[in-house]
């Protein structure tokens, strides 16, 4: 059974940092693009960041560019999202996803999903 499991969420003050992790099991994802999405209450799920299977190519939503960094360790089947300078508007459930192409930003185009981890940023 393929699983993506996120961890590292929590409550942090504005300006603080969190590092999310997503570990895959059931098969290797070393040849898959990996991505992070988020969904705030009452809003649609939105793209945050993605990384190609080699790690050579990364992409970010404009609203997180310069604050968030995506990385991966294929030996550990894990992808990370380092989040700095967090803002209250970053509050959401963050989801890890695996897919074919890191350039795709629509959630519908990603195949595998984790269950999500809550990130809450207080002002």
Per-residue pLDDT of the chain (123 residues; tens, 9 = 90+): 779 999 999 999 999 999 999 999 888 888 899 999 999 999 999 999 999 999 999 999 999 999 999 999 999 999 999 999 999 999 999 999 999 888 889 999 999 999 999 999 999
The token pair that represents 13 in the structure block: 């003050």
pLDDT value at residue 103 = 84
Residue 38 to residue 48: CA distance in whole angstroms: 7
End-to-end Cα distance, the chain: 40
Percent of the chain residues past pLDDT 90, beyond the cut = 88
User: Residue 2: which residues within 8 A CB-CB, separation 6 or more?
Assistant: 24, 25, 26, 27, 112
> Exposed e or buried b for every residue in 31-45, given b needs 16+ CB within 10 A?
ebbbbbbbeeeeeeb
- β-strand partners of 3: 25
pLDDT value at residue 89 = 97
């Amino acid at each position: 059974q393929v699983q993506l499991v996120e961890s590292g969420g929590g409550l942090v003050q504005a300006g603080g940092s969190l590092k999310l992790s997503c570990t895959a099991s059931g098969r290797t994802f070393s040849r898959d693009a990996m991505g992070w999405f988020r969904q705030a209450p009452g809003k649609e799920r939105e793209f945050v960041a993605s990384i190609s299977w080699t790690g050579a190519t990364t992409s970010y939503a404009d609203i997180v560019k310069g604050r968030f960094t995506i990385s991966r360790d294929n030996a550990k089947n894990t992808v990370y999202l380092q989040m700095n300078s967090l803002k209250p508007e970053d509050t959401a459930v963050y989801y890890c996803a695996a897919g074919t192409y890191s350039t795709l930003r629509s959630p519908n185009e990603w195949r595998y999903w984790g269950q999500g981890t809550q990130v809450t940023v207080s002002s």
